[in-house]
Structure 1
Amino acid sequence: MSCAVVACAAGARDARACRDALEVPRTILALYDGTQLASSRISPIHRYAEMPLNDLGYRLVYQDVAHGLGTMPDVPIAATLSWFEGPVPDPAGLAAGLADLRDTCGHVPAMLTLGDIGLDDATIATAAGAAYLGRLGVVAGSDQISVGTSAIVQKVDDRLIGYDTMFDIRTGIQTRIMARDPAASYLTLDTGSDTIDLLVISPGALYADSSVLVREDPRGGPLWVSDPFALFELALGSSQWPVPDVTTLSGRRIYFATVDSDGWLLRLPARQFGDQPPFASEVLDSDLISPFPDLPVSVALIQSDLDANVAGIAADRGRAVASHLFGQPQVQPATSGASMIYNWSFFADYNAQSEQALLLGGATTSVDSGMLVNAIRSLGDQVSPRSLLGGGVGGPRKYVNTAFDLWTETAGAIAASAAIAPGDTAPPLYRWSGDAMPFAAALSSVSAAGSENLGGGGGRLTMVRPSLANLMPLGFRTDAGLQVYDALDGDADYTQGWTSNTAAFYALQQTLDRTEAPRRLKPFQLSFAARSAVDFASRSAVRAHLAYARSAEVTPVTAARYARAVIGYDAVQIIAEGPLTWRIQDRGDLQTVRFDDAVAWSVDLSRSNGVLGARRTGTSLYVALAPDNAQPRVTLLQSNAAAGLVPQGSTPALVHARAEILQSARDNCISRMVLRGFGPGNTEWLGAPDHAYDVEMMESDGLTPAFWQTLTSDAEGRFSVEFPLPGSAPTAIRFTDACNGS
């Protein structure tokens, strides 16, 4: 038996010191049983609970209880969270460890137990078992009880139950759980001879039986029976601290777009005999990217698609398209590797003979794995020999012309994409292909090459998939670092790989609407593949979403910029410095924090520093941080000011902008800033009421005015400016006013 949970926890407390006793606890220790699940990636915690917890500001660190708790993190622990399917291998160790658990800062974490409590009957009867259940706010009966068809609901709180679907009584043998004061039951069954509590909550504790959590429904996928936000907020308390937020930048919802190379070399059907039909990648360029210079997009290449020795003579035209795209300022170079990996785990312990045997044993080969109609359309394509392809059903990758090599697939592909781009560019983004479940060494290789990574995850929220349970968390933590997930599903997900209704991608608009209100859950990600340029319906859907992005109130950024914000979310520390004052540090490129239920609160700019401005959206208050301030301080005051902030003299404060602010400074009545954006730089500011401001935008030398005007703020102090930003290059602006030296 591995070390008991209690022994590991005690040893951890002795071994590591608290990082900062004033740090807001936002790390949750997520416990799973490796004897029940092969990986935390497939745990119900990761699949269902982590997304709402991310939205509430929490990061999860997973621990396999089959090996004890291990070394406790040196950060404050907000809670432990479990979602077991039955008793764990060492129930006595689990009970003893959690009953007396403290983090390295001396805090007693909250205890969130979903599904099975993880104890067997023998452990429940012990003092350690009773203490464990006592922390949870419940007691357990000495005998299991039968819940039959005659059982009825004795008590239910409709504010919590019936979120996506109604509660159904689950019959069978169950451990009798009963709430203990001061905990309260929110759902109680009467079996005819006994009562059993299925949902028990108290400050610092939550017990929820699996029947009140997520239920699979073939009509709409998984559905939440209870309100996950309400469950966690009741147990953890509402976030009375600045929540790190990756959905928003400069007061607006983030927009970014990604293009995958699936179908890069597919031909469109010829319009008449003798025509040379275009490739999907050529139509992608002419119809979906070049006409939209104001919308940044990350285009991921498969290097073998561009190699004539592998993909045939079509590769030269495919490379020409890539070169043209990478020369456009709104296009961020990206790669998805060399050979289009479909099954990443196959290559974790790669053996070329095993791959050969798999292909010879019946894994089909094809140029593309989509619709039969697309195969018919592409009959005229010059494709590589069957011996070079393994990308059909059962094949672990598309191109098998050479043995798998990790460097070639990761760092080498990154370098190859960078070589296509003109000039000195940042390392291209790495987009995970296929099942998007990279092994640790692959993630480590991408990180070592200096690239951000993105892929997997996603999710949708539509009429046919209406539940939050369909949305994935921000990413997945491995020993090699954080895999950053897509924010939303792309065209392949909506169209089932272009095998069903290819107009289904229009439903992305439903997801965008439902993840914006009543609470902003996700940024606006438009993810599509070159293949969508082939089909009229899917191409039209992409154009509709691009048109909407142009008109929507968003801040367009590159996909790599979003990935860096997620990495910042994972690392950020929030330090409480006093009543209503917090210091934000180690945040990387995370530039927004959020206060929920903040209608009565505003940012006090006179007592804050490193704050650009703030904006209300619904009942939340989004605060924009200055990127060039490593440790901004945010202070609130009680005020329901419409703008969500109380300005400091006449200094212009940001309300929102269709651009990112990179630098800011104020000196002798002049506010200087550097902006980066794509297309029109629509901005709104808050200064002194009825006050005149001279506004200038500089040429690339930073000294010569390229744009100048004088504006007067309204009675509230608001004024708007549209800066004609030149592509994606950083641009200096300045505001000058008569401020009496302030």
Structure 2
Amino acid sequence: MPFRSGWVGMRMAQRVQGIALALALGAATAAAAPAPAAQAPSMPSIALHYGAKPPVDALQAFDIAVVEPDSGFDPRQAATPATAWFAYVSVGEVLESRAYFKDIPKAWFVGRNDAWNAPVIDQAADGWPAFYVDKVIAPLWQRGFRGFFLDTLDSYQLAARTDAERARQEAGLVRVIRAIKARYPEARLVFNRGFEILPQVHDLAYAVAFESLFRGWNQAQGRYVDVAQADRDWLLAQARTIREQYRLPVISIDYCPPADRRCARETAQRIRALGITPYVADPGLQTVGIGKVEVLPRRVLVVQERRPGVSIDDSEGVRFVSMPLNYLGYRVDFAETSEDLPEIGPDRYAGVVVYLSGNVTAQPGRFHAWVQARMAQGMPVVFLNDFGTSVSGTVARSFGLKAVKGRVSGPVEVLAKDRMMGFEMPVAPDRTQAEAIQVPDGAGYRSLLRLRSGTLTYDAAAITPWGGYVLGPYAVRQSGNGNGQSRWVVQPLDFLRAALRLPAMPVPDVTTENGRRLLTIHIDGDGFASRAEIPGGGFSGEVLFREIFDRYRLPMTMSVIQGEVSKDGMYPRLSAELEPIARKIFAQPYVEVASHTFSHPFEWSRTVPAQPGQPTQSSGAAVVEGDEAFHLSIPGYSMDLNREIGGSIDYINRTLAPAGKPVSMLLWSGDCQPPAEALRLTEKARVLNMNGGDTLITRSNPSWIAIAPLGINKPGGTFQVFAPNQNENVYTNLWHGPFYGFERVIETYELTDKPYRFKPVNIYYHSYSGTKAASLKALRKVYDYVLAQPLLPLHSTDYVRKVLDWQDMAVARDVGDGQPGGTGAEWIVRGDGNLRNLRWSGAGMPDVGAAHGVTGTSPAPGGGVYLHLDGGDARFAVRDTVTAPAAPQLAEANGIVREWSQRDGVTRFAFSGYFKPFFRLANAGNCRVSVDGKPVQAVRERNTLRVDTAPVTDPNHARQQVEVRCAG
């Protein structure tokens, strides 16, 4: 919703009325700039977004976010501890769509704002202050809003024609504001203008805003305008009074076209240079603007056209494109050329990647018009494999490419290639996808691969001003022999970074914490009812508990399939023996409880009701009948998603889990491709979900294509988290042998650590690994290997929460530092506190000594450093040279660090860990440490200090308080 007071005619009238005041203050010239910031309280960063779905992920970068309350946004559900959510409220006008409109007596309407089609309310009406508090403010307070942006404070001037009438209206406004603060003294109120009443209520204001200091919007004419100097001088005079006399911070809200980020950035800098808090966005406030901070978009839209029968999980966008983008720090959303493509903008999306395997078949004209619209916004667009049409004539010109003449014949010759070409396999010249195009000479164009065949010389890959392209088969060379070993021909990280023009930024990273690579363990329940083929026999769960679980006692996630264990499953006669085994395992303090569904669906696409034209079943629950081969054969059972998820969780909680330790995770089964409905049911059951992805890189298949992304966004806003690594089933040829094959997962751990750390370590296997001597031996080898590495053991739920936090983290820059990236930049990174690791690989070094929320650094594989965080709110600068801080820094910790503070020579923090926890501090050679108020012994080496502490069952809640005091 735009501001009602954005009406230019009204604003000009008010300027004329107030010019005498401005002259009296000697401020009606450019010299009337506000006093330096030190003379008034500084204003936190603020954003205003009145869209239907406020983008919480981006807005949490700001200290205050003002939203339209009728959007349905619930501040109580937002895990944004560093951001205060304010509600937009209109005082002087009311839209007929407001719920309280029908309750307003008609006699209270005294005029109309025709520019916004909104009735103007008589502020002097008896009962209006009480009505406003009861009907407008109180419901919002109950919803969790504790701040309010008061708009249309000057709309009364549309109806009041005399000084006496204006005085009556102003007195009524004062009563409304005092009524709000009388009912809710803690409410923070931001006034939009209201200059005339400030002498009476300035002590009730948190800040004062106005619009259009440099750039404005003319609603009547529907156009952007440059603010006249005289109008700006008048506003600056008001700002001077507000800052110097009332000691309040001032906000200016200016307007630029939503795609013109340069206009927004420069305007925000001009406002800030005057000591005023800026926010610059589109006039409807539907996009994320630029204020004291600029949020870097962390989304990339991948557009593809899937072949019939190919699931989103198996699409090229997921298999090829997502992982490199995730590593670079970007969340991936998906769109199909056969569907309506979304209207996206540069405020939230860093670019578009199009992956096609031929011409677009559904309305190609619509598709290319959409692409051109994105390019016109300045949003980078990348084509991988194909343009989706023949690039010649008009199409070539639309891309700024030269259509050249020539005929393809004979072999293809490589004339020139960039170093990023020939990454996992050499460039193998192929003429099947030759396009008669070349990049022109000039800034912004760079050929990556120039080929010649016959009389045609063409560029098969290039960087362009609008993005870039790599034609097939020079993006990914897909295997044609069925072994699945495709290869990157172009180096995907380098290409995507260059083509999408991605700036250096601190990348949220889920692989590491406090300088140690993460370790998680989870077990799918398959085979829990199988008997071990080893001396002594017993069920697999018994053997695993004895030989693995209780031997290593590492934090782990254990699941069972209800249909294997319960009385109403496949083996009712064994249930009396199997359930006690499950109870014993779940009772261990290092085990968290999970479900592996009721019947272990093998093909999740068949668990939803049939589509039109296919056989249908009964209404209600998602039920499928017919061929039962897609799940375990359980007598009398027909597929029911509610029973698979909620039902299995209820069974485990009721029958197997210890009191106070319910199911925390659902581990997907079979092909691990659950539909959106299944994902929603896990949310309804209040459990996390994981599995799928197939990270299978080994020395015999050493391609990055065999490394899965973090997960996949599916329809309806659902997200599936992939397992970091794959289980023993694939290393043992689908459990056909060799049964020791799982030891090759060590190769996967090593290849996902260097040259870049793409993944944490994840020991993931099934219960049936407890049935054979060879598989048990392989498990012990894997466990012994990971214990020899510098790893931080966590539960799988900890990892899943990190991935979910990664999805929505905000990365922003202080707008006062110019362009994003580079040294001197001050960065703000915010999330919900579950992800506590950033990766910096740009120029310069983070200044940890002057940072907030950063506890230390450690080297990152592939170059750069990891930044250790203590929670979800970090702020730091990157500088060319950094003086080593004298205070202690966290060099390494096998545990979780929170609440880090350093003051008056004392470092304090909360610490805890699951398994052999310790922390090691740099710059601490002359320091003494106490834990929970008791002095502890420390191991000192050079200028570092190591302290070992006792493990806890739940480090997320049981925390030890550490205090470090240093001499001198």
Is 1:403 the counterpart of 2:638? The answer is yes
| Alpha-carbon distance between aligned partners in 2 of 1:411 and 1:687, rounded to the nearest angstrom | 51
TM norm structure 2 = 0.64
Instruction: Name the SS for the 1:195 alignment partner.
Output: strand
Q: CA deviation at 1:24?
A: 1.0
Matched AA of 2:873: Q
Is 1:213 the counterpart of 2:475? The answer is yes
Q: Flag the 1:400–1:677 CA change in 2: closer, same or farther, 3 A.
A: farther
Instruction: Name the SS for the 2:626 alignment partner.
Output: helix
Partner of 1:358: 627
Instruction: From 72, 91, 100, give the equivalent of 2:373.
Output: 100
CA contact (8 A) 1:96 1:132 kept: no
Instruction: Give the structure, 1 or 2, with the largest relative contact order (CA under 8 Å, sep 6 or more).
Output: 1
Partner of 1:346: 606
Query: CA offsets per residue over residues 88-122 of structure 1, 9 Å max, x none?
Result: 2223223332223269xxx621111111101346x
Partner of 1:725: 951
Partner of 1:5: none
Partner of 2:661: 425
| Alpha-carbon distance between aligned partners in 2 of 1:191 and 1:336, rounded to the nearest angstrom | 55
| Alpha-carbon distance between aligned partners in 1 of 2:801 and 2:878, rounded to the nearest angstrom | 27
Instruction: From 803, 811, 817, give the equivalent of 1:574.
Output: 811
1:548-627 to 2 correspondences below 5 Å: 548-577=785-814, 578=817, 579-597=824-842, 601-618=844-861, 619-627=863-871
Partner of 1:369: none
Query: CA offsets per residue over residues 480-510 of structure 1, 9 Å max, x none?
Result: 4110011111101111221132222111111
1:248-647 to 2 correspondences below 5 Å: 248-269=512-533, 271=535, 277-293=537-553, 295-310=554-569, 311-349=571-609, 356-359=625-628, 394-399=629-634, 401-419=636-654, 420-425=656-661, 427-480=663-716, 481-577=718-814, 578=817, 579-597=824-842, 601-618=844-861, 619-627=863-871, 630-639=872-881, 646-647=884-885
Query: CA offsets per residue over residues 285-306 of structure 1, 9 Å max, x none?
Result: 111111112x211111111222
Matched AA of 1:26: R
Partner of 2:187: none
| Alpha-carbon distance between aligned partners in 2 of 1:37 and 1:16, rounded to the nearest angstrom | 41
Matched AA of 2:644: E
Q: CA deviation at 1:562?
A: 0.6
Matched AA of 2:559: A
1:177-196 to 2 correspondences below 5 Å: 177-182=437-442, 183-196=445-458
Instruction: From 289, 298, 318, give the equivalent of 1:26.
Output: 298
Matched AA of 1:91: P
Partner of 1:155: 416
| Alpha-carbon distance between aligned partners in 1 of 2:678 and 2:302, rounded to the nearest angstrom | 24
Instruction: Name the SS for the 1:298 alignment partner.
Output: strand
Q: What is the RMSD of the two structures over their aligned residues, measured on CA atoms?
A: 2.7
Is 1:671 the counterpart of 2:671? The answer is no
| Alpha-carbon distance between aligned partners in 1 of 2:585 and 2:368, rounded to the nearest angstrom | 58
Matched AA of 1:622: Y
Q: CA deviation at 1:252?
A: 1.0
Q: CA deviation at 1:65?
A: 2.4
Matched AA of 1:252: R
Matched AA of 2:399: L
| Alpha-carbon distance between aligned partners in 1 of 2:289 and 2:595, rounded to the nearest angstrom | 40
| Alpha-carbon distance between aligned partners in 2 of 1:402 and 1:170, rounded to the nearest angstrom | 53
Partner of 1:378: none
Query: CA offsets per residue over residues 332-371 of structure 1, 9 Å max, x none?
Result: 1111111111111111116569955324xxxxxxxxxxxx
| Alpha-carbon distance between aligned partners in 2 of 1:332 and 1:174, rounded to the nearest angstrom | 55
Is 1:117 the counterpart of 2:387? The answer is yes
Q: Flag the 1:130–1:225 CA change in 2: closer, same or farther, 3 A.
A: closer
| Alpha-carbon distance between aligned partners in 2 of 1:289 and 1:407, rounded to the nearest angstrom | 31
Is 1:169 the counterpart of 2:433? The answer is no
| Alpha-carbon distance between aligned partners in 1 of 2:788 and 2:307, rounded to the nearest angstrom | 51
Q: Flag the 1:448–1:132 CA change in 2: closer, same or farther, 3 A.
A: farther
Q: CA deviation at 1:537?
A: 1.7
| Alpha-carbon distance between aligned partners in 2 of 1:357 and 1:406, rounded to the nearest angstrom | 16
Q: Flag the 1:490–1:639 CA change in 2: closer, same or farther, 3 A.
A: farther
Q: CA deviation at 1:427?
A: 4.3
Partner of 2:164: none
Matched AA of 2:305: D
| Alpha-carbon distance between aligned partners in 2 of 1:45 and 1:130, rounded to the nearest angstrom | 25
Partner of 2:403: 140
Q: Flag the 1:57–1:682 CA change in 2: closer, same or farther, 3 A.
A: same
Instruction: Name the SS for the 1:92 alignment partner.
Output: helix
CA contact (8 A) 1:203 1:236 kept: no
Greater Rg, structure 1 or structure 2? Answer: 2
Matched AA of 1:125: G
Partner of 1:376: none
Matched AA of 1:732: Q
| Alpha-carbon distance between aligned partners in 1 of 2:709 and 2:407, rounded to the nearest angstrom | 36
Matched AA of 1:340: H
Q: CA deviation at 1:71?
A: 3.5
Matched AA of 1:634: F
Q: CA deviation at 1:203?
A: 5.7
Instruction: Name the SS for the 1:724 alignment partner.
Output: coil
Q: Flag the 1:191–1:16 CA change in 2: closer, same or farther, 3 A.
A: farther
CA contact (8 A) 1:339 1:400 kept: no
Q: Flag the 1:712–1:34 CA change in 2: closer, same or farther, 3 A.
A: closer
Moved more, 26-35 or 614-623: 26-35
Q: CA deviation at 1:597?
A: 4.9
Q: Flag the 1:341–1:73 CA change in 2: closer, same or farther, 3 A.
A: farther
CA contact (8 A) 2:851 2:877 kept: yes
Instruction: From 234, 257, 268, give the equivalent of 2:498.
Output: 234
Matched AA of 2:558: V
Instruction: Name the SS for the 1:52 alignment partner.
Output: helix
Q: CA deviation at 1:147?
A: 3.8
Query: CA offsets per residue over residues 387-417 of structure 1, 9 Å max, x none?
Result: xxxxxxx434443532322222112322333
Q: Flag the 1:30–1:533 CA change in 2: closer, same or farther, 3 A.
A: same
| Alpha-carbon distance between aligned partners in 1 of 2:473 and 2:375, rounded to the nearest angstrom | 30
Q: CA deviation at 1:435?
A: 0.7
| Alpha-carbon distance between aligned partners in 2 of 1:47 and 1:708, rounded to the nearest angstrom | 50
Task: Name the % identity.
Answer: 23
Partner of 2:936: 708
Q: Flag the 1:522–1:640 CA change in 2: closer, same or farther, 3 A.
A: farther
Matched AA of 1:527: Y
Q: CA deviation at 1:237?
A: 4.1
Query: CA offsets per residue over residues 251-274 of structure 1, 9 Å max, x none?
Result: 211110110111111112364xxx
Partner of 1:368: none
Count residues in correspondence.
Answer: 659
Query: CA offsets per residue over residues 299-334 of structure 1, 9 Å max, x none?
Result: 111112221332222222221111111111111111
| Alpha-carbon distance between aligned partners in 2 of 1:324 and 1:261, rounded to the nearest angstrom | 15
| Alpha-carbon distance between aligned partners in 1 of 2:433 and 2:494, rounded to the nearest angstrom | 28
CA contact (8 A) 1:139 1:180 kept: yes
Matched AA of 1:620: G
Matched AA of 2:867: V
CA contact (8 A) 1:417 1:428 kept: no
